[in-house]
Structure 1
Amino acid sequence: MRDLENPSIATEYVGHKAQATVARYSPSGYYMASGDANGNVRIWDTVNEEHILKNECRPISGKISDIAWDCESKRLIAVGEGKESFGHAFLFDTLSSVGEITGHSKMINSVSIRQQRPFRAVTASDDMTVSFFTGVPFKFQKNIRDHTRFVHAVQFSPNGDFFVSAGADGKMFLYDGKTGDKIEELVSEQDGHKGSIFAVSWSPDSTQILSSSSDYTAKIWDVNTKRIVNTFQIDSAVNTVDNQQVGNLWVVDYLITTSLSGEISYLDKNSGKVSRQVDGHAKAITALAVSKKDNTLFTGSYDGRVYGWKFGEEDNTTKARRIAGDGHSNQITAINASSDAEEFFSVAMDDTLRQGSAEEFTFSDKAISTNCVPRSLAISKDKIKVVATDETVLIYDEKLERIGSLENVDFKPSVADISSDGKTVFVGGQDNKVRMYQLDNGKLTASGELDKNLGNITCLAVHPELNLIAVGDSVGKIFVYDIESKDAVIQSWVFHTSRITALDWSDCGTYLVSGSIDTHIYIWNRDKPSRKIAIKNAHVDAVNSVRFLHNTTELNVVSVGQDAAVRVWEGKF
């Protein structure tokens, strides 16, 4: 749930156990009805932070496609996929039935309830029909067969006089809201939609309709003249297919359309242009880096996208900017930024290392092959890059020329780090050991092992000043080793219950932050090892990475997770 004025203010509901597919506010604003891919509908409180569950049911056996409330916030209709039924009408408090949703032979895509008495309802289906219902209780009256392909959306006007349908045939039809009789088709031969229409929304005064289509446009139609008032071309995504417009919203003066990529576009009705865009990850975020100079965030996700975030800019809002240029084609496994904040580097499962400008948010044309899947990326102050792959460890200089690699590897590397002076490389393996190497002109010479961990080594963090290194493993344990004596000086940080995914030291070197797939984040105090700050359930499913923000008086950390969210946490010891 986002604030329309400041979209970076957002809250998340995590009650569903399956993919959430639809959410609808009640007209009162106090409740939300949300559905998921397993056919569950949850009705929950929107006012309190806990989002207390009011009720839950499973009205149909398959995915919920749409939900509609009546104007009294008492009755709902949920529709979607099913076996015996494709929709159900029920009371929100007792869940008792208030009618039957029949008349369709295939999945129902959309439902709308007239917001005045006498109640009416309409549904749109893959069987190319629109069904019209009277109520309450809701009773099937007739099927409307004006569309020639799937019908994607139906919507009653706020005043109840009309409803509109839109479909994959690129057509929109206007109907009488009380009788369901067709008034006419909304058609424009010259500038009508050239593709499927996925969503429609009415203006608050019921005089205009906003439509969103797969032809990368959103249009405003005037109901009285049956003509198009404005056309908005949406073309910001890197892949043109991602520019398909699949959803929209018209609330007061806000006109919003959403792209297949997940990008939200604010439309200016007066100028006919996109006034603002809110972009971000739509898949699990798998990598995170924070620039030490200005706290610019770089994030990479499961689908290969990389974004930059200028933290705290423009009235304390933070916007995601997609990194332009030829990027990665597969999951990002690691990102890091140079100490001068001029460049960032990323590695991904497309077996490449790429360089980008941290100031211009663009990838360079240069892509370096790693020959196999890279697992981690570390950078020294003099821009020596160390990449751990499934087979070896690769060393690159400032110009991304390979200057060395780990030879005769008799273990499987999982992660690597490098000291800030670029003289020592640490390699964690899947045999529970960390091996130390001295680096000289690209040549790695073994200098010792750290072997107290009980699980596969999953992450490393070299202390910024002292001869210490923090080591996290697959069983949730964190050991801090003295590099010279190779002894574990801290062995009590064992509160994570599963694999450690990230470690990072604060600028002062006193605090260490850790994240895990157990969904928790801990901040540890090196001077007082028994003290800690716990951030429980920080992300749904898993915390994939966590980093300290720099140049702050408090222990502010940023984290990313499996839920595709970027979160900033404020705290003090």
Structure 2
Amino acid sequence: MSYTKKYTFAPLPQTNRGEAVKLSADPKGKTFLYTNGKSVFIRDIENPALATEYAEHTARVTVARYSPSGFYIASGDINGNIRIWDTVNEEHILKSTIQPISGRISDLAWDSESKRIIAVGEGKERFGHAFMFDSLSSTGEITGHSKVVNHVSIRQQRPFRAVTCADDMSVVFYHGVPFKYQKTIRDHTRFVNAVEFSPNGDYFVSVGADGKIFLYDGKTGDKIDEFTEGGHTGSIFSVAWSPDSTQFLTSAADCTAKIWDVSSKSVVQTFTMNSAPNAVDNQQVGNLWQGDHLLSVSLSGEINYLDKNSGTISRSIDGHTKAITALAVSSDDTLFTGSYDGRVYAWNYGSAGDKTMAVHMEGDGHSNQVTSIAIKNNTLISAGMDDTVRQGATTDKKYNGKIVTTGSLPRSLATSADNSITVVATGDNMQVYDADMKKIGQEDTASSVVDVQSNGKRVFTSDGQNNIRVLDNDNGKLTLNKEIVHGAGNVTVLASHPELNILAVGDNGGRIYLYDVESGETVNQKWVFHSGRITALDWSTCGCFLVSSSVDTNIYVWNKDKPFKKVAIKNAHVDVVNSVRFLHKTEQLTIASVGQDAAVRIWEIQKPE
């Protein structure tokens, strides 16, 4: 068997309060990119559902920029490392790597010849460095600042000029090449967050935490004017020029984005963001102007497409920003994902295909990490670290208000195929609920993992050690049938076969055993190729295949009838694969996976002959 990675559904940009988000556009106008975690995500600007990921950094990536040629991308991380890699090959072959400063990279800028790069950020010996992208030799000195540098821009015409801004409330202007300090500009009264040359090189503009906007001559660095009429009432985090250099877009903490006209020095259009219930989430912290597309990023990570003619939001791209920790698939192949920050989203893969986008579950959701999600008969049940289990409808993507307080951390949950019972495993006990979330039973034994036989007659559980308890269910009353001792390691996952009396068991050593439930004997103990804790197991609808995920970043698809036949998907996600599930209605054997990189991936498996 072989596999194909069909889609990557990207997370939103990673945001931090008080920091700007850097977006960069493909010079051809087809894609844009940003960072989240250790990855750089490249998304189609017309159809953002289409995305690819670059995941070769070993630390959190802070910025990535296309070269003007479009053939290379430079990306920097919190450790001061910059990787320069090509965009032509799917493998994104590494061109060179450098550590220009000893701390976080805040921003990068290419010159118009795609030869030179200026990197700025938070260093110990210096706050910036200019170098050749291929030989890495120095092309000047970035001096004049006394605190972390936030942004850099290079004039794209000769004679080259460069400008930087910093937390020391100053803007520094450089002549080049080589780049040399020319003068310091101190017009702002608070942190300066962004500076940007116009595409024609005639101007550059600076914006800061004082809400002020200044326009300068692109060749001399002399101040032309300040934009005051109709200005922002909060910190301005980002600025982007129109392609014709007549207007620019600003995004600010007052939850607005504004288009400014250079000739009249006034606001042309104001966009007000009010979609999120929390006003802080609507702060605008990043933007991009690429062709006819104007994008502004909210502190929640949401990407807003702005219609400059009507002054409205034409569309908003939602999704996860934190690690996805739970996954379930409905009967129509809609994916439901829960994350570290309590968000739950639906992905209509079954009907949308390559246009699949995230839809937020409305209603009273979780306030902390989602630990488990189960779906049966159009009902979604989720458990979270807020010590609650919540119920919702998969059809209208909304929680219905049924909330159960578990009394202790719900570590796992499972439902029967007919949704007659839901069993929740907690650190203190195991709780049984009916279809209306009414508690009908409790077994006072600490449990960490649980699964339910498809007919609801049996419940399988473990306390995280090496014993598995098989319990008979009689309308919520659980009676011990037998105990199976799993001598290989501590049990982390259980998965009951959809038709046969077989139980799949995964442990913290990366081993997967199959047990006969009636006899308690081992059916298969040959699946031992994972090198770390098993995080999820799932049987295909036909019961012929089992898929597993692990903290080793790998996914395996196993053949029950041919135990030595397997598919290995190496490095499926950055750091950890948290969950994996089979889809139901696809012609090919298809699986969905989620992980620490906050991405959702769809894989097609070629069935054996």
What's the TM-score once normalised by structure 2's chain length? 0.91
Q: Deviations over 1:82-121 (max 9, x none)?
A: 1221111111011111111111111100000000000000
What is the match of residue 215 of structure 1?
254
Aligned CA distance change for structure 1 residues 253 and 535 (closer, same or farther; 3 Å)? same
Contact 2:573 2:597 in 1 (8 A): yes
Q: 2:314 aligns with which of 268, 272, 275?
A: 275
Partner of 1:242, secondary structure, is helix
| More relative contact order, 1 or 2 (CA 8 Å, 6+ apart) | 2
Distance 1:182 1:312 in 2: 56
Contact 1:351 1:371 in 2 (8 A): yes
Contact 2:468 2:486 in 1 (8 A): no
Match runs of 1:357-368 below 5 Å: 357-368=393-404
Q: 1:235 deviation in Å? A: 2.3
What is the match of residue 59 of structure 2?
18
Q: 1:554 deviation in Å? A: 1.1
What is the match of residue 436 of structure 1?
470
What is the match of residue 374 of structure 1?
410
Distance 2:290 2:207 in 1: 20
Q: 1:307 deviation in Å? A: 0.7
Letter in 2 for 1:236: S
Is 2:275 the counterpart of 1:236? yes
Q: 1:316 deviation in Å? A: 3.1
Match runs of 1:293-442 below 5 Å: 294-314=332-352, 316-338=354-376, 340-341=377-378, 343-383=379-419, 384-407=421-444, 409=445, 412-442=446-476
Match runs of 1:86-105 below 5 Å: 86-105=127-146
Q: 1:315 deviation in Å? A: 6.7
Q: 1:277 deviation in Å? A: 1.3
Letter in 2 for 1:353: V
Poorly superposed stretches of 4+, deviation over 6 Å = none
Partner of 1:2, secondary structure, is strand
Is 2:181 the counterpart of 1:140? yes
Partner of 2:280, secondary structure, is helix
Contact 1:197 1:211 in 2 (8 A): yes
What value does the CA root-mean-square deviation take over the aligned residues? 1.1
Q: 1:377 deviation in Å? A: 1.0
What is the match of residue 184 of structure 1?
225
Match runs of 1:552-563 below 5 Å: 552-563=586-597
Segment drifting more, 384-393 vs 111-120? 384-393
Letter in 1 for 2:340: Y
Partner of 2:448, secondary structure, is strand
What is the match of residue 35 of structure 2?
none
Match runs of 1:54-203 below 5 Å: 54-188=95-229, 191-203=230-242
What is the match of residue 474 of structure 1?
508
Letter in 2 for 1:40: N
Distance 1:515 1:262 in 2: 28
Partner of 2:281, secondary structure, is helix
Distance 1:329 1:391 in 2: 21
Match runs of 1:31-42 below 5 Å: 31-42=72-83
Letter in 2 for 1:125: A
- Ranges in structure 2 where 5+ consecutive residues have no aligned partner: 1-41
Distance 1:382 1:490 in 2: 29
Q: 1:262 deviation in Å? A: 1.4
Contact 1:453 1:477 in 2 (8 A): no
Letter in 1 for 2:167: D
Partner of 2:297, secondary structure, is strand
Contact 1:547 1:558 in 2 (8 A): yes
Distance 2:496 2:294 in 1: 49
Letter in 1 for 2:242: S
Contact 2:588 2:604 in 1 (8 A): yes
Contact 2:175 2:182 in 1 (8 A): yes
Match runs of 1:394-543 below 5 Å: 394-407=431-444, 409=445, 412-543=446-577
Percent identity over the alignment is: 64
Contact 1:382 1:398 in 2 (8 A): no
Q: 1:275 deviation in Å? A: 1.0
Q: 1:314 deviation in Å? A: 4.5
What is the match of residue 224 of structure 1?
263
Distance 2:353 2:454 in 1: 35
Distance 1:483 1:255 in 2: 59
Q: 1:240 deviation in Å? A: 2.2
Contact 1:452 1:488 in 2 (8 A): no
